[in-house]
Amino acid sequence: MNANGKASAVKLGLEGQQDMPAEAHPGPSTRSVHAGRQGNPYRAITDPVVQSAAYTFENTAELRDFMEAKLWHLGGKRAEYGRYGNPTVAAVEARLAALEGAGDAILFSSGMAAITTVLLALLSQGSHVVITDDCYRQTRIFCRDFLKRYGITCTLVPMGDFHALENAIRPETRLILSESPTNPYLRILDLERLVDVARRHKVKTLVDSTFATPLNLRPLEWGVDLVVHSATKYLAGHNDLLAGVVAGEKDQVIALREALGVLGGISDPHNAALLLRGLKTLGLRLERQNHNGQLVAEYLEAHPAVERVWYPGLPSHPDHEVAAAQMKGFGGVVSFTIRGDLETTSRFIDRLQIPLISPSLGGVESLVTQPALMSYYDLSTEERLEIGIRDNLVRLALGIEDAADLIADLAQALEGE
């Protein structure tokens, strides 16, 4: 160990991706705690919150050097203005890149800011994008309604239908956008088939892997070009911040970082510090949420009041075999339909004592939502059915509570009708 106590850290590859020797392979939880740690003059264990709108230069010679070489200083990206970089944000980006096995990662103000920035950066007038139909509703709305204002067209294809996906590709297609797992039916994308189709047609791929996290699934390892997360969810883990991230090979990310500087959807350093803190317990939280998800899904599938359960860890799930081949865990979200109508389902949700009614997921608290009332209330029953949202559908996002307590709560709520 050297005088600064860094030799062991570098040996483990914990000072960031660039310093990691080929023989070092720290586990995902170790990376969640240590990867991308920034040097600081205070010798603080935690990365400092650098609250600054702009940065100074000692003299014009240093400014010239910076402009010519884009220097790196003090372990973080040197920037002249806060929209182009921040040391606390850089620490998060390095840690997320390490978790994904990516060359680089970019932090955004929200998951939607990440998605929209990528689409605006990669697509131009006359471009075409293919998107699978079980993607997040706001992503679909942006592709369908907003991009067409700029002469960009979009084709929606059924999730898992690779024949339809390949037929949808045109000469002007630039991107295939999908999710894995999807919301709310937790469909799992066959990444190997996706990449095969995309490479044969020379089309880039973007996969939203928010529901999986890098600990359950790493799409880049399967050949996907870019992966995006709503870091608001599992990565932060405490329902107290909004953030998004995009990760990929460094040359793929350069243009996105330039677009972020123009579009301005940056994350502030306080959010970044909260996210750093949340990432340190990601492995512990996700292990419990994977465990809770499997046990709750098995319980619900056996209950006579439950019509159907969607969970990738169940053999009954349409993509169970793909999930078992690709994923290290199946996550903490369980979707199911109960026997009854809209009002029956609402009464069931109201009887639950532990899950809170809320549209998010991935935090330490269990949350529950009835999509017909929360995310699709503006649509009629017929319109909802056309896109697969049934009145009796429930999405349960499990936290880190004890599985026995969660199951007991579900039991009393299901049997209370």
Question: How far is residue 104's CA from residue 94's CA, in Å, rounded to a whole number?
Answer: 7
What pLDDT sits at residue 284?
97
Taking residues 28-33, report their average pLDDT: 88
Percent of the chain with pLDDT over 90: 76
Closest by Cα among 342, 336, 330, 334 to 377: 342
Length of the chain: 417
3 state SS of 50: coil
pLDDT tens-digit series, residues 263-320: 999 999 999 999 999 999 999 999 999 999 999 999 999 999 999 999 999 999 999 9
Q: How high is the pLDDT of residue 8?
A: 36
Judged against a pLDDT cut of 90, whether residue 4 lies above it is answered with no
- Please say if the pLDDT value at position 181 is more than 50: yes
CA distance 260 to 258: 5
Nearest CA among 377, 373, 343 for reference residue 357: 373
Beta strand pairing call for 76-77 and 72-73: antiparallel
C-alpha span between 343 and 338 (Å, rounded): 11
**Residue 29 has what pLDDT?**
87
Q: Which helix (H) or strand (E) holds 283?
A: helix 282-302
Looking at residue 17, its pLDDT comes to 39
Domains delineated in the chain? 7-67 (no CATH), 87-279 (3.40.640.10), 282-414 (3.90.1150.10)
Structure confidence by residue, pLDDT tens digits, 341-385: 999 999 999 999 999 999 999 999 999 999 989 877 778 888 888
Mean pLDDT of 313-338: 98
Least confident range from 55-64, 172-181, 333-342: namely: 55-64
pLDDT of residue 10: 32
Nearest-angstrom CA–CA distance, 194 and 274: 34
Catalytically active residues are 83, 136, 208, 233
In three-state secondary structure terms, 313 is: coil
Say if residue 156's pLDDT is above 50: yes
The three-state secondary structure class of 121 is: helix
Query: Which pLDDT tens digit goes with each residue over 233-276?
Result: 999 999 999 999 999 999 989 889 999 999 999 999 999 999 99
- 351 vs 416: CA distance, rounded Å: 8
Distances (CA, A) of 389 to 45, 345, 354, 370, 375: 47, 13, 24, 10, 10
> Please, what is the Cα angle at 133 between 131 and 138, to 5 degrees?
80
Across the chain, what does the average pLDDT equal? 90
Give the model's pLDDT for residue 70. 63
Question: Is residue 6 predicted with pLDDT exceeding 50?
Answer: no
